[in-house]
Amino acid sequence: MKLNKKEVAQNLRLFGYKRYGTMKKFAEALDMNPSTLYSGYLNGRSLPGPVLLVKLIDLGCNINWLLTSRETPFAANQTTIVNATDDESIRQRVPLPRTVLNTSQFVDTKKSNGVFADSRR
């Protein structure tokens, strides 16, 4: 199935207006310059890549609808539209905690969980 860039651009614009009211607020929510949003995605020149798709999912967009125009614009768990002026509508992604391999903390955690218990060389 080939994606229609103009249709995806139209769906992206519709989602942005319904969710944020203006494209400027929508671009801010995506951590993107508004001119990049317009010139690259809203005019149908480019399709959203994986990074942008993940951001759209985080904002409540139904990616299946965005790319195929099937189903509804908002994800199944999204029951209400967040007010565009609400600060919580622009969420920051929190990085996962990092554990450095080969540290005593990492090895002790694996030992207590039995990961290294049955290993034989």
> CA–CA separation, 102 vs 30, rounded Å?
36
pLDDT in 10s for each residue of the chain, 121 residues: 688 889 999 999 999 999 999 999 999 999 999 998 988 899 988 899 999 999 999 999 988 888 888 777 776 655 444 454 444 444 455 555 565 666 666 666 656 655 555 555 4
Query: Residue 71 to residues 11, 47, 76, 100: CA-CA distances in angstroms?
Result: 12, 19, 10, 42
CA angle 33, 62, 18 (to 5 degrees): 60
Which class in CATH covers the domain with range 5-78?
mainly alpha
The predicted model scores a pTM of: 0.59
